[in-house]
Amino acid sequence: MRGYPLKIKRVIENLQKLPGIGVKTAERLAMSLLRRSKKDSIELAESIKDMVMNVKYCSKCRNFSESDVCDICSSPSREKNIICVVEQPEDFFAIERAGEYRGIYFILHGSISPIEGIGAEELGIDYLVKRVKNEGIREVIIATDPDVSGEATAIYIARLLQDTDAVVSRIALGIPAGGHIGYADEITMIKALEGRRRIILE
């Protein structure tokens, strides 16, 4: 990065540490931060600091939250005996956006990965099992990603919950809405066929 003033270089280097941001994108972003109004760039910096300093994990579901217990866990309008287990806060937000689910959540912040040293403890699975047992949870919907580690995590959790009263379910895998059957990969196709449901004519 020959030629950049030091203060610009520092921003470019810091931006490059973010996922998916290479040197070209970092340069472009730094230039844009300089080019637009000072106010907007300072507002971005301040908002990042404020978020990082004040957002913590909800003590019940491990989701990002501004308070000790998040809005969902403390909401009287959510069903407290259905837990949906997801890998990441983004997954939680995707489900919330759909607007149908009325239960509560549990966020693993990852999936089981022996190579990366991520096990049940890092993911809070022991705490999840304890909650299911102690809080009379009726159903646990496992919505981890349908990939190798997500599937392994789903099966691992299902085994641990075998002896509890909770029904353990897995979200459906299949062709996405608006997708094309012809473009589906083999595994998705197999799962879509396996998960077929009878058409009931009224």
Which residues here bind its own copies, judged by CB under 8 A?
Answer: 1-8, 10-11, 14-15, 17-21, 25, 27-36, 38, 40-55, 64-66, 70-72, 88-90, 92-93, 96-97, 99, 109
The nearer residue to its own copies, 49 or 130, going by C-beta atoms, is 49
The nearer residue to its own copies, 6 or 177, going by C-beta atoms, is 6
The nearer residue to its own copies, 1 or 167, going by C-beta atoms, is 1
The nearer residue to its own copies, 35 or 196, going by C-beta atoms, is 35
Least distance between its own copies and beta carbon 145 (Å): 15
CB distance 81 to 137 below 8 Å = yes
The nearer residue to its own copies, 94 or 189, going by C-beta atoms, is 94
Identify the three-state secondary structure at position 137: coil
Least distance between its own copies and beta carbon 51 (Å): 4
Residue 68 CA to residue 56 CA, distance in Å, equals 7
Least distance between its own copies and beta carbon 113 (Å): 15
Least distance between its own copies and beta carbon 133 (Å): 27
CB neighbour list of residue 24: distance below 8 Å, 6 or more residues apart: none
Residue 111 has what DSSP assignment? Answer: -
Least distance between its own copies and beta carbon 195 (Å): 27
At residue 89's C-alpha, the angle toward residues 162 and 142, to 5°, is: 20
CB distance 84 to 106 below 8 Å = yes
84, containing H or E segment: strand 82-86
The nearer residue to its own copies, 44 or 189, going by C-beta atoms, is 44
CB distance 65 to 74 below 8 Å = no
Tokens 């022991």, residue located: 126
Least distance between its own copies and beta carbon 65 (Å): 6
Q: How far is CA 113 from the centre of its chain?
A: 16
